[in-house]
Amino acid sequence: MANTNRGVVYEGPGEVRVEDLDFPELVLHEQNERKLNHGAILKTIATNICGSDQHMVRGRTTAPAGLTLGHEITGEVIEVGSDVEFIKKGDICSVPFNIACGRCRNCKERHTGVCENVNPARAGAAYGYVDMGGWHGGQAEYVTVPYADWNLLKIPADRDTVMAKMRDLTMLSDIFPTGYHGAYTAGVTTGSTVYVAGAGPVGLACATSCFLLGAAVVIVGDMNAERLRQARSFGCETIDLSQHADLADQLEQILGVPEVDASVDCVGFEARGHGPESGGERPATVLNSLMDITRAAGRLGIPGLYVTGDPGGVDENARIGQLGIRIGLGWAKSHVITTGQCPVMRYNRQLMMAILHDRVQIARNVNATVIPLDRAPEGYEEFDKGAARKYVIDPHGLVGAAS
């Protein structure tokens, strides 16, 4: 078995490097030598760069230097702990970005994004992420996954089929379920009109999910012309928010009414003001605009990331995640608002079947772009500049070979 490992490490604001790492173990030294007999070690087949990673790399969180990045992981099991019963060596599995024990109250109620037992500091954990329990990131050649029987989703197809669809299947670890969660909790269904804020990978995954759920019209708003073109490429209507400050007016031009049935925030706390005179970052802009343009008794899904600590926040309130939200408007319109991490296991098996049986082309819609591990810093740089791509890191060259 291999005994070397390399991965992507956050060195400080704006700087990531590929470095030599310790080979994974079935123990977590960062949590008082926690034994992981229930875990497995995976050879990473595909691992993706996420917008949530980018928040850390920009210095917009309290992430420490030296953190191995990466929470979107698909891999092959090469070792299992003594307590693992059902996952076997050679299984190719999708890894939910939420780390969960499967045993606490929240896990049993399917709230796996806020497991009570995997992070000593607070509920909820993730791989390679700030304040999420010290679990090592998966943008590496090899990675440890705890509670393997619970966390790992075995892909039930022959190896050739799995590898041929890997560019799609790798989206199951985060952005496809996260986008779907935003759409589903916003109540998107047959004939819905939907507004999706943000045309980054999660926004595009959400728009894809809206169509999968039967939406009649999906409208995506962003300030990036290239990303808006990508949204239009699979049937979305688009609004260029760098040119238009009045979102309701733009919706009325498309729909005939200035509101939608459902809306989803796929932007998060680095939101910017709308229009040519927007004046820079305004972290509550998206939340307030969605309450404005969503019909009374409608729903808002908010998978976009909001944090409790933002060193780069525009003011003292923003630096602790305290935003000027028009909750009175949402209350008056009887809105239902769903926030928080996506509980990936609530959706990943169904979405996997949609991929395996050709019901959805998520890789095409998010413009999945495969790069080798050594090009990861370049991928981060291009993504930060607004590239309309979802970067898939291929540590062993297996995805590129299958393509």
The pLDDT assigned to 277 comes to 76
Q: What percent of the chain is predicted at pLDDT more than 70?
A: 99
Predicted confidence (pLDDT) per residue in 133-184, tens digit: 999 999 999 999 999 999 999 999 999 999 999 999 999 999 999 999 999 9
Report the pLDDT value the prediction gives residue 401, as an integer from 0 to 100: 87
Other beta carbons within 10 Å of 325: 14
By CB atoms closer than 10 A (0-12, 13-18, 19+), residue 401 is: exposed
| CA proximity to 55, closest of 305, 371, 240, 281 | 305
Question: CA 248 to CA 294: how far, in whole Å?
Answer: 9
| Spatial separation of the C-alpha atoms in residues 115 and 101, rounded to whole Å | 7
Name all domains of the chain by residue range, CATH numbers in brackets: 5-174+343-402 (3.90.180.10), 175-339 (3.40.50.720)
Distance separating alpha carbons of residues 218 and 207, to the nearest angstrom: 6
- Mean pLDDT over residues 313-332, rounded? 95
pLDDT tens, position by position, 348-367: 999 999 999 999 999 999 99
Instruction: Give the angle 143-127-367 at the CA atoms, nearest 5°.
Output: 90
In this prediction, residue 134 carries a pLDDT of 96
What share of the chain has pLDDT > 90, as a percent? 96
Token representation of residue 164: 């041929």
- 45 in helix, strand or coil? strand
What is the arithmetic mean of pLDDT over 109-121? 97
Q: How many CA atoms lie within 13 A of 271 on its CB side?
A: 30
Cα distance between residue 301 and residue 290, in whole Å: 10
Beta strands in 2-111 (DSSP E): 5-12, 15-21, 27-28, 34-35, 40-48, 67-68, 73-80, 92-95
> 329: helix, coil or strand?
helix
Cα separation of 70 and 16, whole Å?
A: 12
Residue 288 has pLDDT above 90, yes or no: yes
| pLDDT tens-digit readout, 246-283 | 999 999 999 999 999 999 999 999 999 998 877 789 99
Nearest CA among 137, 169, 152, 185 for reference residue 300: 185
pLDDT digits (tens, 9 = 90+) for 181-218: 999 999 999 999 999 999 999 999 999 999 999 999 99
From CA 363, how far away is CA 46, in angstroms rounded? 13
Helix, strand, coil percentages, rounded to 5, for the chain? 30, 25, 45
Residue type, 130: V
Phi, psi (deg, nearest 5) at residue 68: -75, 125
At 1, is the pLDDT very low, low, confident or very high (cuts 50, 70, 90)? Answer: low
Query: For residue 90, what are the CA distances in angstroms to 80, 84, 155?
Result: 10, 14, 11
In one-letter notation, the amino acid at residue 214 is: G
User: Are 199 and 222 a contacting pair, CB within 8 Å?
Assistant: yes
Q: Is pLDDT at 3 greater than 90 in this prediction?
A: no
